[in-house]
């Protein structure tokens, strides 16, 4: 007789166990009643395999014949079967089935998983019956919110329309909404997720019901246990402030901030004994309590330096050289930040000398009774590093986009600072080269150096032990700006030029050689015209000698300022200047450049005659409007109508600016320019001194404070009459 049975298992996700729901056999009811007393008397033991393997001698009775999948709509059965540990041909194992169901639940797609088994003469047929989580239909509803907009709440959700929803996903998104409210100070907010299934299409509508509650503020911050640092000073370091909203993230951060502040002020042993927070009686505010144990405040005692040179060489630096770099002194309050900064400065000294593996190890001995910290530095000068391969990596947003700049434009700057194979590695050389590359022009968006230290050879030291000299591979990641040039058209209205229009075309990287060319034209309705052609190159004749040349023609009007030669007279003046300049520059140090320039300019100067309705020379205007027969003394007082400048210009520049990424974001350092122009050589005789300075001071966050000054002085035999060379207050060409 053929015997068959059906066993059904349901996996309980909350307690991870199998529950045998039903056992059905095709035996007669009378047979069951007859053997029931025996079943009670016989102990029953759980087995790893199902059913009881001793119940039949059939060897195939416990072998899995096939595995079937029911209820999966989103995943093909083959994909699910491939994930199971249970395989066709294996014996049925409760342990494997348990692991399989756990893994299927982890997918987050199924709300219920059952396993049915059916026994045949050829083995057991296992059927995984799956119930999928419904998909979300329609928009997710947000109810009860007024302090935070619905759009901002939905921005933090990770579920959406037509996506499957699970209990785990609902809980995660509930927590995200609660976190959002906590960030705004609503710590009593409650969120209740709801699912309304639609049996017709198997979807469900999802909503979140929100009870916002009151905003929680910091009612008080109590500091306990502090003796040497006041409550006020500690509270100043904290981001949580009395009367402001409470934020758990700020609270956790402040716990570390308070202890770090103590340790940065000599309290190395400071501890946070207890930290808690509690609501006030009305649950409208939170009281924060911090209990600290300060411990002794250490001051710096003796400072000692021990230098271990490399091999048989002499120490690179003396103890005096090392001590001069310390920003800590005996008697100062011990601050970890100052100690770290001192170590960094010393390490940089050794990197500048090629000692890439130099180690500076501080040994600090604390004397709690005397509140003294003695520091002993052991400096291992390490191996010598020489530059190996030097490569340039062009970084672009598109891998198919070629770089425009010629590689030699970058490499010549590297060679200039001895960044080439076989040269001694120097950190300062790397930084100086980076700064110069960024100074090539705005077409260099970013220049980041990278070093890779590689072993090269071994040399014995004094004790006969081998030490390794190393080779350093240097690479620069260069990112170009997408546009090295620009074409612009502008227009506007001004009191000086009237209605005007301007065209400006320039390129800072012509032919990829860092040549700069600019063409500019401007025309206004009030006798204003400008034309300019400029060319510059940072290198000429294969040397770091810069060249700048320009040609220009400028017509401009100047409002006459009373008091220059006749306090009762006012008029408009026009000057036309045509000329050109050429300047060459050469660095004399890494940060100082000298330049020599020549300027040749001719200027005609005219005054508006209201009676003639045109511009005339100052002499003609004076005859028409003041005195038809002026004396020579009167004529000498008039502005000259023609000027000629033949000048030589000496200039010195000192640039120590450091940049974050490009030349447009200096974050420290300074830039100074002083020029002296001497005119003569057949032209007007005068001299002009100009000074311009910019100082960049880093402050908090990424803000940089900039001080800019400009100074000018003109003097000489003809300076009194050279109105087009003098300085005026007010106007676009003024001293401001």
Cα distances (angstroms) measured from residue 689 to each of 558, 650, 686: 23, 10, 10
Structure confidence by residue, pLDDT tens digits, 287-345: 999 999 999 999 999 999 999 987 777 888 999 999 988 888 899 999 988 999 999 99
Give the DSSP per-residue string, 654-702: EE--EESSSTT-EEEEEEEEEEEEEE-TTS--EEEEEEEEEEEEE-STT
Other beta carbons within 10 angstroms of residue 56's beta carbon come to: 13
Write out the E strands in 463-544: 466-480, 485-494, 498-510, 515-524, 528-537
- The whole-number pLDDT of residue 164 equals 78
Q: Which two tokens stand for residue 495?
A: 């009191």
The stretches in the chain having pLDDT less than 70 are: 1-61, 397-400, 455-468, 495-497, 558-571, 718-724, 728-736
Exposed, middle or buried by CB within 10 Å (0-12, 13-18, 19+), for 543? exposed
Closest to 124 (Cα-Cα) out of 18, 24, 5: 5
Structure confidence by residue, pLDDT tens digits, 19-76: 333 333 333 333 343 444 434 333 333 333 344 444 445 555 678 889 999 888 778 8
- The answer to whether 164 and 109 are in contact (CB under 8 A) is yes
**Predicted TM-score of the model (pTM):** 0.63
Q: Which residues contact 45 (CB under 8 A, 6 or more apart)?
A: none
Closest to 556 (Cα-Cα) out of 723, 721, 682: 723
- CA gap 206, 208 in Å, rounded: 7
Exposed, middle or buried by CB within 10 Å (0-12, 13-18, 19+), for 691? middle
Closest to 130 (Cα-Cα) out of 87, 68, 84, 85: 68
Dihedral (CA of 422, 428, 430, 436) sign: negative
DSSP secondary structure letter of residue 332: S
- The whole-number pLDDT of residue 458 equals 60
Domains in the chain (CATH in brackets) are 5-132 (3.10.20.310), 135-211 (3.10.20.310), 217-293 (3.10.20.310), 299-380 (3.10.20.310), 385-480 (3.10.20.310), 538-721 (2.40.160.50)
- The whole-number pLDDT of residue 734 equals 53
Peptide bond between residue 51 and the one before it cis (omega within 30 degrees of 0): yes
- The whole-number pLDDT of residue 715 equals 86
Q: Which two tokens stand for residue 423?
A: 């040269």
Helices 336-352 & 427-438, crossing angle to 10 degrees?
90
Give CA torsion, residues 315, 318, 323, 325, to 10 deg: -70
- The whole-number pLDDT of residue 153 equals 93
- The whole-number pLDDT of residue 156 equals 92
CA neighbours within 13 Å on the CB side: how many for 154? 12
Q: Which two tokens stand for residue 684?
A: 């007007």
Give the DSSP per-residue string, 280-306: -TTSSEEEEEEEEE-----EEEEEEEE
Interior angle at CA 618, CA 614 and CA 619, nearest 5: 110
Q: Which residues contact 514 (CB under 8 A, 6 or more apart)?
A: 405, 409, 440, 441, 443, 508, 537, 538, 539
Using a pLDDT cut of 90, give the percent of the chain over it: 44
Place of tokens 């758990």: 248
Q: Are strands 123-132 and 110-120 parallel, antiparallel or unpaired?
A: antiparallel
- CA gap 121, 629 in Å, rounded: 139
Place of tokens 């425009």: 404
- The whole-number pLDDT of residue 59 equals 59
Place of tokens 């899995």: 64
Q: Which residues contact 568 (CB under 8 A, 6 or more apart)?
A: 562
- The whole-number pLDDT of residue 632 equals 84
Other beta carbons within 10 angstroms of residue 484's beta carbon come to: 20
- CA gap 221, 239 in Å, rounded: 11
Edge-to-edge strand order for the sheet containing 271-279?
217-224, 285-293, 271-279
- The answer to whether 684 and 643 are in contact (CB under 8 A) is yes
Closest to 426 (Cα-Cα) out of 355, 371, 495: 355
- The whole-number pLDDT of residue 534 equals 96
Q: Which long-range contacts (CB under 8 A, 24 or more apart) does 721-727 make?
A: 721/639, 721/640, 722/640, 722/643, 722/684, 722/686, 723/558, 723/564, 723/573, 723/575, 723/605, 723/639, 724/558, 724/575, 724/577, 724/603, 724/605, 724/643, 725/643, 725/645, 725/686, 725/688
437: helix, coil or strand?
A: helix
- CA gap 652, 549 in Å, rounded: 18
Closest to 204 (Cα-Cα) out of 236, 157, 167, 245: 167
- The whole-number pLDDT of residue 58 equals 58
């Amino acid at each position: 007789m053929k015997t068959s049975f059906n066993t059904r298992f349901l996996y309980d996700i909350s307690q991870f166990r199998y529950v045998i729901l039903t056992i059905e056999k095709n035996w007669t009811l009378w047979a069951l009643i007859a053997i029931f007393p025996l079943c009670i008397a016989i102990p029953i033991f759980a087995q790893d395999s199902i059913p009881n393997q001793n119940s039949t001698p059939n060897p195939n009775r416990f072998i899995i014949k096939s595995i079937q999948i029911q209820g999966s709509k989103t995943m093909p059965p083959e994909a699910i079967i491939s994930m199971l540990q249970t395989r066709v041909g294996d014996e049925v194992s409760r342990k494997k089935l348990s692991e399989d169901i756990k893994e299927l639940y982890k997918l987050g797609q199924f709300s219920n998983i059952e396993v049915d088994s059916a026994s045949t003469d050829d083995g057991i047929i296992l059927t995984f019956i799956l119930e999928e989580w419904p998909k979300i239909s329609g928009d997710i509803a947000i109810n009860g919110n007024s302090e935070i907009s619905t759009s901002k709440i939905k921005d933090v959700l990770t579920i959406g329309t037509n996506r499957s929803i699970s209990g785990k996903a609902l809980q995660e998104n509930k927590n995200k909404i609660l976190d959002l409210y906590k960030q705004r100070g609503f710590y009593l907010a409650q969120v209740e997720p709801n699912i309304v299934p639609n049996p017709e299409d198997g979807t469900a509508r999802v909503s979140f019901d929100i009870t916002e509650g009151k905003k929680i503020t910091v009612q008080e911050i109590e500091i306990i246990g502090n003796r040497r640092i006041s409550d006020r000073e500690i509270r100043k370091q904290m981001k949580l402030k009395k009367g402001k909203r409470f934020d758990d993230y700020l609270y956790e951060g402040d716990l570390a901030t308070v202890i770090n502040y103590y340790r940065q002020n000599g309290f190395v042993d400071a501890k946070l004994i207890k930290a808690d927070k509690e609501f006030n009686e009305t649950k409208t505010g939170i009281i924060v309590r911090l209990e600290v144990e300060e411990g002794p405040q250490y001051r710096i005692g003796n400072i000692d330096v021990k230098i271990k040179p490399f091999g048989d060489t002499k120490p690179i630096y003396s103890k005096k050289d090392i001590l001069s770099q310390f920003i800590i002194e005996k008697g100062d309050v011990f601050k970890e930040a100052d100690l770290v900064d001192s170590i960094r400065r010393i390490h940089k000294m050794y990197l500048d000398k090629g000692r890439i593996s130099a180690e500076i190890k501080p040994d600090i001995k604390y004397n709690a009774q005397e509140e003294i910290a003695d520091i002993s530095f052991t400096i291992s000068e390490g191996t010598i590093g020489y530059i190996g391969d030097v490569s340039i990596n062009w970084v672009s947003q598109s891998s198919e986009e070629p770089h425009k700049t010629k590689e030699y434009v970058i490499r010549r700057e590297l060679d200039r600072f001895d960044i080439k194979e076989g040269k001694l590695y120097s950190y300062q050389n790397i930084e100086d080269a980076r700064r110069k590359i960024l100074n090539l022009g705005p077409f260099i968006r970013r220049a980041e150096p990278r070093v890779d230290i590689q072993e090269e050879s071994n040399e014995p030291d004094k004790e006969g032990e081998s030490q390794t000299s190393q080779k350093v591979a240097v690479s620069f990641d260069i990112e170009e700006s997408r546009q090295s040039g620009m074409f612009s058209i502008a227009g506007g209205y001004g009191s000086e030029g009237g209605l005007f229009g301007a065209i400006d075309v320039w390129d800072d990287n012509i032919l990829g050689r860092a040549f700069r060319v600019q063409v500019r034209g401007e025309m206004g309705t009030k006798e204003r015209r400008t034309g300019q052609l400029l060319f510059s190159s940072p290198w000429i004749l294969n040397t770091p000698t810069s060249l700048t040349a320009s040609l220009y023609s400028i017509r401009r009007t100047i409002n006459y300022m009373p008091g220059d030669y006749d306090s009762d007279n006012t008029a408009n003046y026009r000057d036309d200047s045509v000329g050109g300049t050429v300047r060459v520059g050469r660095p004399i140090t890494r940060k100082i450049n000298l330049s020599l320039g020549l300027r040749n300019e001719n200027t005609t100067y005219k005054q508006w005659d209201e009676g003639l309705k045109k511009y005339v020379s100052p002499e003609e205007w004076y005859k028409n409007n003041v005195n038809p027969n002026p004396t020579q003394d009167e004529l000498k007082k008039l502005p000259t109508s023609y000027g000629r400048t033949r000048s030589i210009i000496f200039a010195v520049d000192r640039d120590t600016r450091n940049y974050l990424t490009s030349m447009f974001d200096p974050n420290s350092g300074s830039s100074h320019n002083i020029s002296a122009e001497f005119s003569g050589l057949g032209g007007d005789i005068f001299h002009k001194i100009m000074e311009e300075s910019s100082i960049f001071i880093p402050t908090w966050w990424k803000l940089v404070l900039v001080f800019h000054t400009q100074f000018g002085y003109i003097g000489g035999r003809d300076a009194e009459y050279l109105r087009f060379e003098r300085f005026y207050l007010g106007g676009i060409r003024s001293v401001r």
